[in-house]
Amino acid sequence: MKCDTHIQTRLKKVSGQMNGILKMMEDQRDCEDIVTQLSAVRASVDKIIALITTQNLVDSIEETYNIELKDLESELALFIRSR
């Protein structure tokens, strides 16, 4: 599977967020703050999943039918995020 650098950059940001959360735990920060940051990570990961799934679906359709669907990509991403 090919992933564009945009998705890889998003994953690196999530990795940084997770390291920050571990630091918060080591510093014994408030549970509410940690849960807030974990929720942000979960939302980021959900977005990455939607992007990868959408790109994979578009690529599969384009390859199968030898057509270009770039206009459909944003609509598919919206649909997948809405689940």
pLDDT at 12 over 80: yes
Residue 62 or 30, more confident: 30
CA–CA separation, 32 and 67 (whole Å): 48
Q: Do 22 and 15 meet the contact criterion of CB atoms below 8 Å apart?
A: no
Between 2-6, 34-38, 47-51, 58-62, the lowest mean confidence (pLDDT) is in 2-6
How high is the pLDDT of residue 14? 98
How far apart are alpha carbons 48 and 60 in whole angstroms? Answer: 18
pLDDT for residue 79: 76
Q: Taking the model in full, what pTM does it have?
A: 0.80
Spans of all domains in the chain:
5-81
Token reading at 63:
């390859």
73 pLDDT higher than 80: no
Choose the CATH number for 5-81 among 1.10.3720.10, 3.10.20.30, 3.40.50.720, 1.20.58.1000: 1.20.58.1000
